[in-house]
């Protein structure tokens, strides 16, 4: 069947149908009643994004209606957890609006658990509320579908387009249908990237048939960054990858068990271990960060990692001590059945009854994202009423490329968004994008038709590589003429794991290791020209790999540039083992020149706009 080229015009193009993209669609329609709003999703908006298979808690909720928390409190919390380095203006902006988002979710039908004594939402922790969330995503997707002019499912967006005469102005995007193979050209006056962050750039602990069993959504293929970086958008904190403590093998979350059920973790000998590393951590990061409440996530990881290195594993979560009522047992099981059903399967397959015996904990492989407890992503303009002057150069959540906005994983510096915060940031980006478009009526960007034609040839080249190269082999999958996406992915995961601080090195790296990793990554980038795709599904995998490789390079370059260990427990620079506030209380920023392949690294100031209590 001949491939067709389809042109889609829009005022606002939203890339990614997760919570950030759904929020952008919903809010864009409210402010832009007559605008054409197009949402493009790689999978199907009904069950896509990091919350595709459900969630057991909303992890960002202030509770201002009951005076439980204030936005300033949330900024202090995020700042302490990220060892001092966050965009406080962006976090404050989300915090002051997020409660209204959660209330909308409840109005739309999301069941939120209530505390029978107070009638308030049932708190898991200071910032988290418990939900019956198996159908969380379909509820939110319905609102986005109704708001958008058009929703295009099963479209893999591969490249953003910039204006023919102004390379620093966005003009649209291109991609292909993973069902029909049609080539899509999306023309837009503004673009909001709300795609996913990066899982599977590091080798996962799960292997073989279980490789897809990761904590963060395995289909989050770094498009949030792989799309932006080639435009020259400034990126920050790409070194700030996250490592999670999780139930072993199933990657089940630990939050509800620690915070709501008050379960305890010990080493194999029944000993609590976190306190024994406080003096060591004081030496590494200083007293100020040790005193942060709650204790920073990365430092909790550090204690577990050190305990494992000392040979006192496994680490156990003592579930058997807290499931003493039917209500608690239901919460414990639903925590997994709502969002990580694989962990319940692991319990069954390993003959574990959580009421009778503990379960192992382990630290995960690293992930790169801007919506969870880390800050990777684009440098974005902040809200004009809060942001310091050098954090505000245009419209809220607009990157350094004119008309290119972001939400969720895409935006850097604003950790602890999670689902509700990502939707809220999508709303903020949507409102700003509408204003950007309305302010420029009649001033439309122009597409470079020659560039689009070249991109079409580039995008579909892996199909041709396979068509020609498969004739050189009679069996098997290893061919002299092409590289399969899976093989490229395995090469990427191996080099990132071994050279850039993965779990096999206990998250330790140094300058020689990073430089060697960069050398190997350069070789892999050269081989991507020879990717072979058997079908459209593999073509999608090929372009996911492109996005992952570009993101991985940003991670290496940022880690190399920051000459300190800012987040022990997430990664360690063995040659710079301590936190160094005197030199590195700054954001690390990068800009990539797609024409030359060069990276420009710099430091950006960290401004504290909320006073410490």
Q: Whose structure tokens read 């709501």?
A: 260
Complete DSSP assignment for 487-537:
HHHHHHHHHHHHHTT-GGGTTEE-HHHHHHHHHHHHHHHHHGGGB--SSHH
Distances (CA, A) of 96 to 71, 104, 334, 394, 446: 5, 15, 30, 20, 37
Sheet of strand 315-317: strand arrangement = 245-247, 359-363, 315-317, 265-266
User: Pairing relation of β-strands 37-40 and 5-15?
Assistant: parallel
Closest CA to 141 of 14, 6, 12: 14
For residues 318 and 264, is the Cβ–Cβ distance under 8 A? yes
User: Which residues are known catalytic residues?
Assistant: 59, 124, 215, 246, 335, 372, 419
Q: Whose structure tokens read 């067709």?
A: 4
69: DSSP letter: -
User: Pairing relation of β-strands 315-317 and 359-363?
Assistant: antiparallel
Distances (CA, A) of 285 to 55, 244, 581: 34, 20, 9
User: CB-based burial of residue 99 (10 Å sphere; 0-12 exposed, 13-18 middle, 19+ buried)?
Assistant: buried
CA–CA gap between residue 470 and residue 479 (Å, rounded): 7
């Amino acid at each position: 069947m001949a491939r067709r080229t389809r042109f889609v015009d829009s005022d606002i193009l939203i890339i990614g149908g997760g919570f950030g993209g759904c929020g952008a669609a919903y809010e864009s329609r409210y402010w832009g009643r007559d605008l054409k709003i197009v949402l493009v999703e790689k999978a199907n908006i009904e069950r896509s994004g990091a919350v595709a298979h459900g969630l057991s808690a909303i992890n960002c909720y202030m509770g201002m209606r009951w005076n439980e928390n204030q936005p300033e409190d949330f900024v202090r919390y995020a700042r302490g957890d990220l060892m001092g380095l966050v965009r406080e203006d962006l976090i404050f902006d989300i915090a002051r609006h997020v409660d209204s988002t959660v209330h909308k979710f409840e109005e739309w039908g999301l069941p939120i658990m209530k505390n029978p004594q107070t009638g308030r939402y049932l708190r898991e922790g200071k910032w988290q509320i418990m939900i019956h969330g198996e159908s969380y995503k379909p509820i939110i997707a319905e609102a986005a579908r109704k708001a958008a002019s058009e929703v295009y499912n099963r479209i893999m967006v591969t490249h953003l387009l910039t204006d023919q005469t102004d390379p620093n102005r966005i003009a649209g995007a291109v991609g292909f249908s993973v069902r029909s193979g049609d080539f899509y050209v999306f023309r837009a006056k503004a673009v909001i990237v709300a795609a996913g962050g990066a899982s599977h750039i590091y080798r996962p602990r799960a292997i073989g048939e279980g490789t897809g069993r990761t904590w963060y959504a395995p289909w989050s293929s770094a498009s949030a960054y792989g799309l932006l970086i080639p435009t020259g958008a400034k990126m920050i904190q790409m070194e700030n990858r996250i490592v999670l403590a999780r139930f072993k093998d199933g990657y089940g979350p630990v939050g509800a068990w620690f915070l709501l059920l008050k379960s305890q973790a010990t080493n194999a000998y029944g000993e609590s271990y976190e306190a024994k590393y406080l003096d060591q951590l004081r030496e590494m990061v200083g007293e100020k960060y040790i005193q942060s409440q709650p204790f920073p996530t990365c430092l909790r990881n550090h204690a577990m990692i050190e305990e494992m290195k000392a040979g006192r594993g496994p680490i156990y979560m003592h579930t058997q001590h807290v499931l003493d009522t039917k209500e608690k047992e239901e919460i414990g099981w639903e925590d997994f059945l709502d969002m990580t059903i694989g962990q319940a399967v692991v319990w069954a397959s390993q003959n574990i009854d959580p009421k009778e015996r503990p379960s192992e904990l382990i630290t995960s492989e690293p992930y790169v994202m801007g919506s969870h407890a880390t800050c990777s992503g684009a440098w974005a303009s902040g809200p004009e009423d809060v942001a310091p002057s050098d954090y505000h150069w245009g419209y809220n959540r607009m990157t350094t490329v004119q008309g290119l906005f972001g939400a969720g994983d895409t935006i850097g510096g604003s950790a602890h968004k999670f689902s509700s915060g990502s939707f809220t940031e999508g709303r903020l980006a949507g409102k700003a994008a509408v204003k950007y478009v309305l302010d420029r009526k009649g001033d439309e960007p122009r597409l470079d038709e020659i560039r689009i034609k070249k991109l079409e040839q580039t995008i579909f080249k892996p199909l041709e590589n396979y068509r020609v190269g498969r004739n050189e082999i009679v069996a098997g999958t290893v061919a002299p003429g092409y590289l399969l996406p899976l093989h490229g992915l395995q090469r990427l995961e191996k080099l990132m794991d071994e050279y850039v601080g993965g779990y096999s090195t206990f998250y330790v790296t140094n300058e020689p290791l990073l430089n060697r990793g960069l050398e190997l990554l350069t070789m892999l980038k050269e081989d991507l020209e020879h990717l072979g795709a058997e079908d459209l599904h593999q073509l999608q995998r090929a372009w996911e790999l492109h996005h992952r490789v570009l993101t991985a390079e940003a991670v290496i370059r940022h880690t190399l540039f920051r000459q300190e260990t800012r987040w022990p427990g997430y990664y360690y620079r063995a040659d710079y083992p301590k936190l160094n506030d005197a030199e590195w209380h700054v954001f690390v920023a990068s800009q990539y020149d797609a024409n030359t392949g060069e990276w420009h690294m710099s430091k950006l100031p960290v401004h504290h706009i909320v006073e410490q209590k």
